[in-house]
A and B are shown apart, each in its own frame.
Chain A
Amino acid sequence: MLQTGRPRMQTKRTIFPNKVLPYALLAPQIAITVVFFLWPAGQAVVSSFLREDPFGLASTFVWFENYTRLFEDPAYVDSLRVTAAFAIAVTFCSMTFALLLAVAVNRLIRLGGVYTTLLVWPYAVAPVVAGVLWWFLFNPTIGILPYLLSFMGVHWNHRINGNHAMIMLVVAASWKQISYNFLFFVAGLQSIPRSLIEAAAIDGAGPMKRFWTIIFPLLSPTTFFLLIINVNYAMFDTFSIVDATTGGGPAGATNILVFKVFADGILGLNIGSSAAQSVILMMIVIALTFVQFRYVERRVQY
C-alpha cells in the first residue's frame, strides 16, 4: 500500500530504441498481476451475477439479485455501519497516539533512536498474533485486563457486550498500526525546518502554540496520506484480527465487511453473495485509491 511518490526526476532522458525489450522486461510483473489480481477479480465480478451451488454443478444468471439482496439484508447494512465505526475509531486512535509519541520522541536529544526502534517493533507482529495477544489480555476468564477493570467496577465481557468487543478490536488493530504511523510522523517532524520553530519561539510562542500553528499545518500532507492508508488498513487488513478474536460477534457487533466476505463465502459457501460483497469492497478500494492519487499523492512530502 506504500506509495513511493518522488519529486519529478530532473535527470536527462535517455532514449532506448528497442521497442520490444521494455515489454519483455515488464512481462513477468504483468503476468503476476493478471494471474493473481485481474483474473480473480474478474471471476469475482462474474460470480457476483450468478447464483451457484457450492460445487459449481449448476449456476443461473441472476443479474443484480445478489446485490439487491445484500442491501435488503439488515445484517449487511449493519456490517457497513460497523465497518465505518471501526475504521474511524482505528484511524483516529492510531494516528493520535502515533503523533503524540512522535512529538515526544522528536523532543528527545539523546535516546530518540532507541525509542524509535522500540516503538516500531509492534509493526513486525502479524495481525493474527496481535489479535491473539489482545484476546488473551482481554479474556473474561483468564485475562489480566478484565481482572484489573473489575476493581474499577467494570464487568468486562466481550462475548456478550458488543461495545467491549469493539473496544478490544480497535485496541488490537490500532496498537499495531501506531508503529507505522509513528515512523511517518517522525520523518515528517524532522523535515520541518528548525528555523521556523526557533523564529516562533523567539517571537514568544509557547510549545502548544508552536505545535498548532506551525508543526501541525506543516505535517498535514503526512497526516492526509496516513489518513488514507489507515482507513485502508482498518477496512481491509484487519480480517485476521477479527478472525482470531471475536469472529464477528457478539451479535454482529464486530462483523466488518471484509470478515463478512470470508464468513459468507468460505464458511457459508454462499459464493454469489460473497462475490457481490467483494466487488463492493473492490469499489471502495478503488474509490479510496483514487482519492489518494488525485489529492494526496501530489502533496505528500517525504
Chain B
Amino acid sequence: MANKVVTSVVALAASLALTAPALAVTEIQWWHAMGGELGVKLESIAKGFNESQSDYKIVPVYKGSYPETLTAAIAAFRAKQNPAIVQVFEVGTGTMMAAKGAVYPVYKLMADHNEPFDSKSYLAPVVGYYSDTQGNILSLPFNSSTPIMYYNKDAFEKAGLDRNTPPKTWAEVESFSKKIKESGAAKCGFTTGWVSWVQLENFSALHDKPYGTLENGFGGLGTQFQFNGDAQIKHFANLKKWSDEGIFQYGGPVGGNDAPPKFYSGECAIYFNSSASRAGVVANAKTFAVGFAPLPYYDDVIKEPKNSIIGGATLWALQGRPAEEYKGVAKFFSYLSKPEVQADWHQFTGYLPITYAAYELGKTQGYYEKNPGSDIAINQITRGEPSVNSKGIRFGNLAQVRDVIDSEFEALLAGKKSAKEALDAAVVGGNRILRDFEAANK
C-alpha cells in the first residue's frame, strides 16, 4: 500500500512541477540527488549553462537520495510526467539499461542532434561501465567516484609508524591497526563505508576475481553471482576476526552512516570510502592531518592489483518529452563534458574527472601538486589494463543484492554464520533477485 501512496503523491507533485507556463525559452527539468554543497555546485553548473545561451533553461530539481530520485523518476514516467534528465546512481544502471523504451541512449541523442560526442575522450573505466555490449554509451557520466583509503597521519605517528607510509596490503592494515590500538593512538584500526561496494565489488575487481558469470553481468541477464570465491571468503573471514579483535569497526549497512564519524572523531585511524568523501573528510577532520592512499590488497592473491571500479551516478535522458527539449539536453550534455566544467566539478567535489581533457587541465593548473592525494583515485582506477573482472559489474536490482550482502555480512559479524556460509547465502539470495529481474525484463 505504501508504495502506491508514494507513487500517486510523487506523480501529483511531478504534474504540478511540470505544468509551468509555456515560455519562449524551453525549460528542461533535471532531477538530481545532490544535496548540501554538492547541490549548490550543481545548481551553479546549470546556471552557467543557462547564461551561456538563451534558447534553453535547465531547471535542476533536488529529489532526495539516489533511490528516492530513481523511484520518483520511474513513478513520473509511469504517469507520463517525467523529467528529460534524471541522475541515476550506478547500482540503478542495470535497471535503466533494461528499460529500453524508457531511456533515450546518450550516443543516439547526441547523434540525432548533431552534437559532437566521442566516447574515447572519456575515461575508459567510466565509459565501460555505462556502455552497452556494442560499446555505445547509454548515459552521460557525470559524477563518478571510486573508493580509496583515508588515514589519520597523527595517529600513525603516535603509534610509532611513519606518517607518510600508509599500509599497502591487508597484512599491513592488520599489523598497523594492531600497533595503533595497542599504543592507544586510536581505539580502532579501521572502518569502512559501503561494505558491499568497497569490500566485495571493488575487492573482487582489484584481485581480478569474477563477481558474476557472463563477464560480471555485461553479457546478459542470465547471470549468476560468483563472489563466494576463496579470496572473498578469506577477506570476509578476516574482517570478522578483526571485528572480534576490535581493530575493525563496522559502520552500518548500505553507505555505512556510522563510519565517517568514527574516522572524524579519531576513533578509527584508517577509513575506506568513496573518493567523493574527500571534501567531507577535509572539512571534518579538524584535529589531525589526513593522508590518502590506494585500497590495500592481498599480495598472496595478486602481485599487481587491478584497477578499482566506479560508483557515483550518470545522467539519463528519459523518453516522452517534446522534441525541442532533447535538442537542449544534447547541448547541455556537451556543455557538461567541457574540460573546464568537468575539472571544476571534479576539483570541488572529489569525484573523478570524467574526461581525459579535464584531467589534463587539472594537471596544467597544478591542482594535483597543490592538493597531494587528489589524484590517488584517478591513478587507481586507470592503472594497468582492465580485465574482464575489473571493468565493472552490471546486474539488475543491484541495490537489493547489496542489501542481501549487508545482511549476510551482519550475520557473519554476529557470529551466526561463517564467512563461507554468509557469502554462499548471499550468492543464493542474490541469484534469486537476479532471476526476478530476468523474468521481469524478458
Return chain B residues, CB-CB under 8 Å to A215: none
Partner of B95 from the list A40, A52, A54 (CB cut-off 8 Å) is A54
Answer whether A274 and B406 are a contact pair too, CB < 8 Å, given A57-B99, A140-B258, A251-B414: no
A-side contacts of B436, CB under 8 Å: 69, 270, 273
Taking a contact as CB atoms under 8 Å apart, the answer to whether A250 and B102 are in contact is no
Asked if A94 is an interface residue, CB under 8 A from chain B, the answer is: no
Segment from A122-130, A156-164, A180-188, A286-294 that makes contact with B: A156-164
Say yes or no: is A77 at the interface (Cβ < 8 Å to chain B): no
* Interface 9-residue window, one of B114-122, B128-136, B247-255: B247-255
Task: State whether A73 touches B432 (Cβ < 8 A).
Answer: yes
Among A253-292, those with CB < 8 Å from B are 253, 258, 261-275, 278, 281-282
**Which residue of chain B has its CB nearest to the CB of A247?**
B253
With a cutoff of 8 Å between Cβ atoms, the chain B residues found around residue A258 in the complex are 2
> Is B400 positioned at the interface, with any CB of A under 8 Å from its CB?
yes
B399 CB–A CB distance under 8 Å: yes
A53 within 8 A of B: yes
CB-CB under 8 A from A263, the residues of chain B are 403
Q: How large is the interface on B (under 10, 10 to 19, 20 to 34, 35 or more residues)?
A: 35 or more
CA distance A89 to B95 in the complex (A): 39
How far is it, in angstroms, between the C-alpha of A154 and the C-alpha of B413 when the chains are bound? Answer: 17
CB–CB B407/A250 < 8 A: yes
User: Is A141 part of the contact surface with B, judged by Cβ < 8 Å?
Assistant: yes
In the bound complex, CA of A273 to CA of B399 (Å): 16
Contact of B77 among A55, A162, A264, A268 (CB under 8 A): A55
**With A and B bound together, what is the CA distance between A272 and B70 in angstroms?**
18
Say yes or no for A56: interface residue by CB 8 A criterion.
yes
Q: Which of B398-442 contact A (CB under 8 A)?
A: 399-400, 403, 406-408, 410-411, 413-414, 416, 429, 432-433, 436, 439-442
Is there contact, CB below 8 Å, between B99 and A266?
Answer: no
Q: Smallest distance from the beta carbon of A275 to chain B beta carbons, Å? A: 8
Is the CB–CB distance between A269 and B71 below 8 Å? yes
Q: Please, which residue of chain A has its CB at the minimum distance from the CB of B267?
A: A141
Residues of B within 8 A of A73 (CB): 432
Interface string of B1-25 (1 = CB under 8 A from A): 1111110100000000000000000
Chain A count of residues within 8 A CB distance of the other chain: 52
Is the Cβ of B440 less than 8 Å from the Cβ of A44?
Answer: no
Are A251 and B416 in touch, CB under 8 angstroms? yes
List residues of chain B with CB within 8 A of the CB of A265. Answer: 2-3
A43 at the interface (CB under 8 A from B): yes
**Beta-carbon contacts under 8 Å, A127-156 to B:** 139-142
Interface residue? A239 (CB, 8 A):
yes
Q: Are B403 and A40 in contact (CB under 8 A)?
A: no
Q: Inside 8 A of B429's CB, which chain A residues have their CB?
A: 75
Chain A contacts of B399 at CB under 8 A?
267-269
Q: Decide if B153 is an interface residue (CB 8 Å cutoff).
A: no
Residue A41, interface by CB 8 Å? yes
Contact B1 A41 (CB under 8 A): yes
Closest B-chain residue to A264, C-beta based? Answer: B400
Q: What 1/0 mask marks residues of chain A from 157 to 176 whose CB sits below 8 Å from any chain B CB?
A: 10111100000000000000
Residue from the list B78, B265, B406, B407 in contact with A55, Cβ < 8 A: B78
Q: Among the listed A41, A140, A239, A270, which residue makes an inter-chain contact with B397, where contact means beta carbons less than 8 Å apart?
A: A270
B391 CB within 8 Å of chain A: no
Determine the chain A residues whose CB is within 8 A of the CB of B433 once the complex forms.
Answer: 268, 270
CB distance from B404 to the nearest CB of A (A): 8
Chain A residue nearest in CB terms to B408: A251
Inter-chain contact B440/A251, CB cutoff 8 Å? no
CB distance from B259 to the nearest CB of A (A): 10
A271 vs B254: C-alpha distance when bound (angstroms)? 21
Interface pair A141/B265, CB less than 8 Å apart: yes
Residue of A nearest to B268 (CB): A141
Q: Least Cβ distance of A211 to chain B in Å?
A: 41
Among B1, B102, B250, B261, the residue within 8 A (CB) of A282 is B1
- In Å, the complex CA distance between A73 and B429 comes to 9
Nearest CB in chain B to that of A140: its residue: B258
Give A contacts to B, CB under 8 Å.
36, 40-41, 43-44, 47, 51-58, 69, 73, 75, 139-142, 157, 159-162, 239, 247, 249-253, 258, 261-275, 278, 281-282
Q: A53-B99, A266-B6 are in contact. List 12 more A-B contacts (CB 8 A).
A: A57-B101, A69-B436, A75-B407, A157-B250, A239-B2, A249-B410, A250-B407, A250-B411, A269-B74, A270-B400, A270-B433, A278-B1
* Pairs A-B, 6 closest by C-beta atoms: A250-B410, A265-B3, A251-B410, A40-B4, A268-B400, A251-B411
